[in-house]
Structure 1
């Protein structure tokens, strides 16, 4: 058996007295903290990295990491090729779980709920903000499909780059029909704060009524064993 590296989690955790009134306010506070830390230290290199779990047609879970590109009172959102494995799985079963994890800060946020397709206007508005190369890559990648070689991928990139050269205009590359995104309509949001001796804090907002993540009346707060 390999030697096990043990790290005592020295975070400050999260108490009922300190948690914000709504899951939106608390999540935004922690996200702001992570973004601020990423700007002054190198131990949170991508604060918006979001692990997303779906279920395939056989009931087998699947997880991958994307970038959270939307976050407001409606829930976290991300962009993807809708014909990818995650898109196909969500088309068959819209149940979804996701997490933001910042190990260096001993913090994580877990979201559980249903995936809803983003409006086309939201997708188009975001697509034009991407760098030209990223817009070309959206056309290049048949995400999750088999690839025979790296050279095949690079040849496809060059083909689309020649078709839509970089003019410096945000609309020089059209949005692919298969490129879209999802927002998570949450039923549960858990805040995990690491503490010493593995006595971590887990405070959970559970949906008890209609309303956004910033509607206090829509949520109840409870604590779970670590």
Structure 2
């Protein structure tokens, strides 16, 4: 009997976090496409996962958020080279709830909170120190008080419909285990696929 995919991911993720050769097990490639189908990929950090999906946070005015507004689907890829493992998943994307975003934002270091107010992510900067000046402005604005979550900063949840687990094998005899969620029942089907 196959391990359910979310449990298998939890097992592999736990092992990746324990592996000394992996700098950050939560680093994942996020692939999106705009409304016209033009793809884009970048690295982001997984902040939470459970049966509802895989969560990351970003500036809502960023290119990735704009892509997701026009085409709410994404793919994620975790590659843990020292373990010879990779996990790929694809699915629909939904915004996290406001209270969930507020709760996560409150756990961030203060400078990261101020940076969320200061950064105009992916827009041109007039000079190299523009970000530092904007962080200083945000720091002066909030003084020593709590920093609220900016309205332009929140999270997205990727709800997986496909999950593939890849394990490296000698002579390219890799192991690929594919799980696909049924649209009707939500149950996961499983099959092995050629490398």
| Shared fold (TM-score, shorter chain, > 0.5) | yes
TM-score computed with the length of structure 2 as normaliser: 0.95
1:219 aligns with 2:194: no
1:66 aligns with 2:41: no
Q: Verify the 8 A CA contact 1:132 1:166 in the aligned structure 2.
A: no
User: What's the CA shift for 1:185?
Assistant: 1.1
Aligned to 2:7: 25
Structural RMSD (CA): 1.2
1:193 aligns with 2:162: no
User: What's the CA shift for 1:75?
Assistant: 1.2
CA distance in 2, matches of 1:116, 1:157: 29
Aligned to 2:121: 143
User: What's the CA shift for 1:142?
Assistant: 1.1
Return 5+ residue gaps in structure 1 as ranges: 1-16, 212-217
CA distance in 1, matches of 2:122, 2:174: 36
User: What's the CA shift for 1:99?
Assistant: 1.1
2:82 to 77, 100, 104: 104
Task: Say which structure, 1 or 2, has more relative contact order (CA 8 Å, 6+ apart).
Answer: 1
Matches within 5 A, 1:47-62: 47-62=25-40
Q: Verify the 8 A CA contact 1:140 1:157 in the aligned structure 2.
A: yes
Aligned to 2:153: 179
Aligned to 1:210: 185
User: What's the CA shift for 1:110?
Assistant: 0.6
Note the alpha carbon deviations across 1:33-80, whole angstroms, 9 max, x for none.
Answer: 11112xxx2x20000001100002331110011110011111111011
**Is the partner of 2:47 in helix, strand or coil?**
strand
Structure number with greater Rg is 1
Aligned to 2:140: 162
